[in-house]
Amino acid sequence: MFTGIVTDIGEVVAVTARADNLRRLKIACGYDRAGIADGASIACNGVCLTVVAAGVEGNRTWFAADAAAETLAVTTAGSWRHGTRLNLERPLRIGDELGGHIVAGHVDGIAELLARDDLDHMARLAFRAPPQQSRFIAAKGSVALDGVSLTVNEVEGDRLSVLIIPHTLDATTFGALRAGDPVNLEVDLMARYAARLIEKA
């Protein structure tokens, strides 16, 4: 489990096809190599990936993770290339501060940035969510976009808007987002389960 609070920005340094529907991603990061164990989970742009190897090259730590068919199909991982920058987060530990909201790292679909309005040190971003996920999104509720926990400002149909504060622009990849860019969307777990319970009632 994660909180949607990004702790590092990583960079894809290699993508290797290992089978028809399997790619190995090598990602450079600022984490301490000693703290990354094989089998550990790291959220990469909101996608929970399992570490299969790690090491140090030069002054940077790297880790490798495999992205299989489902991940490649329903997330932006299929388009990651050398140089792609990724929001990274280590998993939540008992006793950690829950600064965002509970994020599973299981992406529901891909949203598209429709418009960006740059304000004084901030940015208002408008996205289009996939139709099957838009019903789970509510104003003042939470969403994770590319692994970042955000509060929804407005919702109209399948459109949602969020306000990005200066710290988030600096500490995530959001500063570089432009209209037309895809982002990984994970809806709030509580909203999903509440809707499921209502359907079963």
Q: Quote the CA–CA distance of 187 and 89 in Å, as a whole number.
A: 17
Residue 41 a catalytic site member: yes
Taking the mean position of all CA atoms in its chain, how far away is CA 8? 12
Closest CA to 145 of 117, 167, 123, 173: 173
In 3-state terms the chain splits into helix, strand, coil percentages (rounded to 5) of 20, 45, 35
Residue 101 a catalytic site member: no
- Select which of 28, 29, 43, 48 is catalytic: 48
- Select which of 14, 19, 53, 68 is catalytic: 68
Taking the mean position of all CA atoms in its chain, how far away is CA 139? 20
Adjacent-strand bridge partners of 112: 128, 182
- Select which of 7, 41, 138, 191 is catalytic: 41
Residue 44 a catalytic site member: no
- Select which of 53, 79, 151, 195 is catalytic: 151
Q: Quote the CA–CA distance of 143 and 153 in Å, as a whole number.
A: 11
Residue 2 a catalytic site member: yes
- Select which of 7, 40, 104, 106 is catalytic: 106
Residue 134 a catalytic site member: no
- Select which of 50, 69, 82, 121 is catalytic: 50
Helix segments in the chain, DSSP class H: 69-74, 131-134, 166-171, 189-200
Residue 168 a catalytic site member: no
Residue 63 a catalytic site member: no
Q: Quote the CA–CA distance of 113 and 73 in Å, as a whole number.
A: 19
**DSSP letters of 95-109?**
T----S--B-S---E
Just list the catalytic residues.
2, 41, 48, 50, 68, 106, 151
